[in-house]
């Protein structure tokens, strides 16, 4: 699966084959935007073990800045993010990015708000989904990440 990168070019998830990936739909003007800090902490904590955290900015809920440049600058300045980040993408409906259409069709999951989290296992299977209220460093998520990293499942 490929995504347009916020930095230009393409993010190809095949580069992470064999690694768990936490995909999070984000928005810069949401009450949950502070979760960027915890997402970076999660990435920093587990990246050396193989976890990838992929931020997917979206204006699906009308809370994203107007351009990818604004989003990138905001995230770098406010949160010091260095995790992979896509361009601003649609999440719902017929125009949804193929990742989210596949997620809907195969796992029945459609983000209901910003900062919904989806853990994809090393084999590409969906291991868990969490809503905006579940903090990135919560035990629910860290337990699932640790299990995915050791191959013992969530």
Please write the tens of the pLDDT for every residue from 103-114: 999 899 999 999
pLDDT on residue 11: 96
CA proximity to 118, closest of 133, 130, 110, 100 = 130
CA proximity to 135, closest of 21, 42, 67 = 42
Domain annotation for the chain: domains and CATH numbers: 2-8+28-150 (3.40.30.10)
Q: Where are the alpha helices (DSSP H) in 18-129?
A: 35-46, 68-79, 98-107
Please tell me the distance from the alpha carbon of residue 3 to that of residue 62, in angstroms, as a whole number.
21
Task: DSSP for 4-44, please give it.
Answer: EBTTSSEEEGGGGTTS-EEEEEE-TTSTTTTHHHHHHHHHH
CA proximity to 129, closest of 95, 96, 100, 92 = 100
Q: Are 151 and 145 in contact (CB under 8 A)?
A: no
Q: Which stretches of the chain drop beneath a pLDDT of 70? A: 152-154
pLDDT on residue 152: 56
Please write the tens of the pLDDT for every residue from 29-39: 999 999 999 99
Give the residue numbers annotated as catalytic, written as ranges: 30
Q: Are 65 and 26 in contact (CB under 8 A)?
A: no
Residue 85, beta-bridge partner list: 55
pLDDT on residue 79: 87
Please tell me the distance from the alpha carbon of residue 27 to that of residue 74, in angstroms, as a whole number.
11
């Amino acid at each position: 699966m490929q995504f347009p990168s916020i930095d230009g070019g393409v993010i190809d998830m095949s580069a992470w084959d064999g690694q768990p990936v936490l995909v999070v739909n984000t928005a810069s003007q949401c009450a949950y935007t502070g979760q960027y800090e915890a997402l970076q902490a999660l990435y920093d904590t587990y990246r050396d073990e193989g976890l990838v955290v992929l931020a997917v900015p979206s204006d699906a809920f009308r809370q994203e800045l107007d351009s990818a440049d604004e989003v990138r600058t905001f995230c770098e300045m406010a949160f010091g993010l260095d995790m992979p980040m896509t361009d601003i993408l649609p999440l719902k409906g017929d125009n949804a990015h193929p990742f989210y259409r596949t997620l809907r069709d195969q796992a029945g999951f459609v983000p209901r708000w910003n900062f919904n989290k989806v853990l994809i296992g090393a084999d590409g299977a969906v291991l868990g989904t969490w809503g905006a209220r579940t903090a990135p460093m919560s035990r629910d998520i860290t337990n699932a990440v640790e299990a995915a990293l050791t191959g013992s499942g969530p």
